[in-house]
Amino acid sequence: MTESFRRSGEYPQGDQQQSAYSGQPYEQSHQQQHASSVNPEWPPPPAYQPAPGTAPTAQGGAPTALLTEPVSSAPAAPRKRAKGPLALLAAVAIAAAAVGGGTAYAFQELTGNDTAAGSATSTSVVTASKKGTVAGVAEAVSPSIVEISATSNAGSSTGSGVVVTTGGEIITNNHVISGASQIKVQLSNGKSYTASVVGTDSKKDLALIKLEDAPSGLTPATLGDSDAVKVGDEVVAIGSPEGLTGTVTSGIVSALDRDVTVSTDESQGQQQQQQQGGGSGGGSEQWPFEFGGQEFNGDTGSSTTTYKALQTDASLNPGNSGGALIDMNGNIIGINSAMYSAATDSSSSSTAGSVGLGFAIPVNTVKADLASLRSGGSDS
């Protein structure tokens, strides 16, 4: 029950309104209330519990419900809270101790860092709406993948390459351009350019070529971290198998550190082209390699080199050589270099094809070799 109060003199002296509790005239009741320990102007309640007997009384000292109010004990001084980004980061850091690895994704989402948790690299080039999808990877990386046509005395062959600079530098396999007298590169937009060899490294089966009169607006690929790749990671391969430009396949990383042996003899690649017909449609070339003491896709010859490779079950076919193996963030983790074909007769296209045994040169090997390739490579 509530009652309003009026100061003395606020109403005419003739006002004999009765107090609702005492039956006395309002003015007399008001004076009694004024004499109590509570200010009639109703100040904020004290920060302590009033001592017994100090509450206003009426007619015999019983506390009145009107003027008494529950008062809590003095509250502790409020703690200052951090504001802005510092508070946000502190909250995420606390959560990290509680939930472990899952916090990485939360941190990414809250700070706007577009990094997928647990990925092989620290950069994502795939749009947020398509993150983790093959379509998203293909859309983001396809502009960086090219088709390479190499012409030599033995004929012509088709391979793939990865644009690594806006100036037109392209990484590919050494065996794709080995012995070539002319190199043509077709970009993802269909335009073709002549390219020249900058440097080669047959021991790693790598080569660096560069577009002549490179156009503006080239999209260089993002080179990831192959040391962080794990067996079972999803991957995407993009290349030009059988001359089918921009073909996209997907799979997983099947194994790490496979010892793959390939030929370093330039004439061996030319001989392989001749055996398989060469010609303008020479995408049928299958580069021979050794693994586990056995030879695949033909004779590697006497001059060979062995490197550690990533194994993948993403479908690779002739023409994928030099193309990209990509993680789900759109980062290059390998350069596709060898694939096994089940064909016993290499001229029979009806039995040739990918059986899910492909190999890629780890991108960290590529990055470590780039400076050497730019200076001519180890074969110069």
Instruction: Round to whole Å and give the CA distance between 166 and 55.
Output: 84
Instruction: Round to whole Å and give the CA distance between 40 and 376.
Output: 96
Max distance between CA atoms of the chain, in angstroms, equals 127
- Our answer to whether residue 196 is catalytic in this structure is no
Dihedral-angle region of residue 327 (phi above 0 means left; psi in -120 to 50 means alpha; beta otherwise): beta
The SS3 call for residue 333 is strand
Catalytic residue selected from 321, 341, 346, 372: 321
Catalytic residue selected from 201, 205, 225, 313: 205
| Cβ contact 241:210 at 8 Å | no
| Cβ contact 195:176 at 8 Å | no
- What does DSSP assign to residue 45? P
Amino acid found at 7: R
Q: How many H helices and E strands in the chain? A: 7, 17
- Our answer to whether residue 181 is catalytic in this structure is no
**DSSP secondary structure string for all residues of 273-318:** HHHTT-STTGGG----EEETTEEESS---S-EEEEEEEEE-S---T
The SS3 call for residue 304 is strand
Instruction: Round to whole Å and give the CA distance between 335 and 321.
Output: 8
Spatial CA neighbour of 241 closest among 286, 202, 291:
286
Catalytic residue selected from 175, 263, 327, 369: 175
- Our answer to whether residue 34 is catalytic in this structure is no
The Cα angle at residue 141 between residues 138 and 146, in degrees rounded to 5: 105
Residues labelled catalytic: 175, 205, 321
